[in-house]
Amino acid sequence: MNKTDTSKNLQALAFVEARGKTAIIGALDTMPKTSDVKFFRRVNIGSGMVSVIYTGEVAAARAARDAALDLAGRIGEVVTSNVIPRPHSRIYTLINQKSGETAPAESAGKKLALGMVETEGFTAMAEAADKGIKTADVIIPGWVTVGSGLTTVFFRGEVAAVRSAVESGSEAASKITKVVACHLIPQLHSGTEEAAPVGSVSGKSVFNKVDKSDALGILETRGITGLIEGIDAGLKAASVIVQGWEKIGKGITSTLFRGTVADVRSAMDAAVSGASQAGEVVGSYIIARPHDELDKGR
């Protein structure tokens, strides 16, 4: 990995995150009226939570943020705010990525560990991303939101580097808002890379076509951190196929395991155990002989 950082040439980023449109419209208007800042992006992450991001010199960014907080707090509900004085160059491109969109995780043939920091809100996720990538030699393939404001950044790299990025990113984010989960998977299964938006190393499919007669295992979690650990643990425990993942709403995510009854049971046991340690399991269920009509409605 070749880590580059041109943060010295980048302007500060000012974040204001609010619930509802009234406060955000007020922030959008008052920030450029207060100081010399320019609009960068607006991000919606669900449950009425919206982040507005402006760029400018550090003093200007802080003045604009403060003015927006004062106004937004009077006319609506402010969730949080932040100013990143010297953002890493990757943070600018990360903010412009869509939720779930991933960049390739180039590894020069090496296995890359996976680290996750899941926060309540986009603002804290961006802070975690910036702090993590400044702390250690890691790659950030992307970020994802799953509803209810739950937003996760992914770190890839050598185990020690990813651990440092997760620890520093989580600590920085916790000063802004609640950190829902932070987790490290030292050796990621190649199937997990294919099923989840964590950055693919191989780019090759490891899954076969699903047979409708295969047993079906369903795992649901709150947030995506536990789900990814569950997927990885399940794939490592048995010969099963993962049929991707899905956002259900209100921060709930789910995945499906397919295979023989014995394999699905083994995978689900491991998946529920792993997901419970990394996050919150909402539900799990095994269907030994799924009906032919099931796939039409799910």
pLDDT in tens, 130-185: 999 999 999 999 999 999 999 999 999 999 999 999 999 999 999 999 999 999 99
Radius of gyration over alpha carbons of the chain, in Å? 20
Averaged pLDDT score across all residues of the chain: 91
What is the C-alpha to C-alpha distance for residues 144 and 287, in angstroms, rounded to an integer? 29
Q: With 50 as the cut, is the pLDDT of residue 2 above it?
A: no
Angstrom distances, CA of residue 102 to CA of 86, 113, 135, 182, 280: 24, 16, 21, 19, 25
Question: Phi and psi for 218 in degrees, rounded to 5?
Answer: -115, 130
235 HSE (CA, 13 A, CB side): 24
Q: With 60 as the cut, is the pLDDT of residue 192 above it?
A: yes
Q: What is the pLDDT of residue 46?
A: 84
More confident residue, 298 or 68: 68
Residue 291: pLDDT band with limits 50, 70, 90: confident
Q: With 80 as the cut, is the pLDDT of residue 292 above it?
A: no
Q: What is the pLDDT of residue 8?
A: 56
Q: Helix 225-237 vs helix 261-278: angle between axes, to the nearest 10 degrees?
A: 140
- The string of pLDDT tens digits covering residues 263-283 is 999 999 999 999 999 999 999
Judge whether 242 and 231 are in contact, CB under 8 Å. yes
Q: Which domains does the chain have, with CATH numbers?
A: 10-88 (3.30.70.1710), 95-193 (3.30.70.1710), 207-297 (3.30.70.1710)
Mean pLDDT calculated for residue range 29-46: 96
Alpha helices in the chain (DSSP H): 21-34, 58-75, 89-96, 122-135, 159-174, 190-195, 225-237, 261-278, 294-297
Token code pair at residue 90: 């990757």
Residues 6+ apart with CB under 8 A from 220: 248, 252, 253, 254, 281, 282, 283, 284
Q: What is the pLDDT of residue 219?
A: 98
Q: With 80 as the cut, is the pLDDT of residue 295 above it?
A: no
Q: What is the pLDDT of residue 202?
A: 59
Q: What is the pLDDT of residue 240?
A: 96
Secondary structure letter of residue 196 according to DSSP: S
Express as a percent the part of the chain with pLDDT over 90.
Answer: 81
Residue 3: pLDDT band with limits 50, 70, 90: low
- Give pTM, 2 decimals: 0.92
Token code pair at residue 104: 């390739």
- The string of pLDDT tens digits covering residues 70-128 is 999 999 999 999 999 999 999 999 999 999 998 776 665 578 999 999 999 999 999 99
More confident residue, 221 or 6: 221
